[in-house]
Amino acid sequence: MKKLLLVVACSWVLAGCVTQQVAVPHNTYHFFAEDIVSKTRKGIDNVERFYAFFDNVENGKRDQVRIVEQTVEGKPIYVDVRHHNHQIDLKIDYSKDTYSDKKMIATTCNQLNAIEVESRTDYYVSDCSDEEQYIIFSDY
């Protein structure tokens, strides 16, 4: 009888652990070490990587970066920028953003520019195939 009570008690404990594991939310996402993550509590992670990318573009070298912007709710907006053959391929993925229209932007641009605005510098692409300009990064 004691063994049966012990088995039942252990089963309840194990069942409780399984229930806790299932309840873990699946809305988290993983960063890669080379990602430039903006709007974290510490400011911007890997900001030096973006500056190196900007220099490579100015010097006509091939390079690519992924910028992950975090919304107020902590959801990611992925900005993938690839420079090759004097063109910039831009993809912006809003699919994880709760309050966006969930669209993805994909365009090709010819220029990466920097402009100082008050206490920050905005980096944006222009002369794009969709005739738009996009701010891809701000170092605030």
Structure token pair of residue 103? 């669209």
Find all residues with CB under 8 Å of 131, minimum gap 6, and list them. none
Of the candidates 96, 100, 98, the one whose C-alpha atom is nearest the C-alpha of residue 29 is: 96
In a domain, 126, yes or no: no
Of 13 and 47, the structure prediction assigns the larger pLDDT to 47
Min mean pLDDT across 54-58, 63-67, 73-77, 131-135 is at 73-77
Other Cβ atoms within 10 Å of 117 Cβ, number: 10
In a domain, 63, yes or no: yes
Q: Is the pLDDT of residue 102 over 70?
A: yes
Task: State the residue range of the domain holding 56.
Answer: 36-110
**pTM attached to this predicted model:** 0.73
Q: Looking at this protein, which amino acid is placed at residue 140?
A: Y
In a domain, 65, yes or no: yes
In a domain, 52, yes or no: yes
- Structurally, the chain folds into a number of domains equal to 1
In a domain, 10, yes or no: no
In a domain, 46, yes or no: yes
Instruction: Using the structure block, give the residue that is written with the tokens 């890669």.
Output: 32
In a domain, 29, yes or no: no
In a domain, 17, yes or no: no
Which of 3-7, 29-33, 78-82 reaches the highest mean pLDDT? 78-82
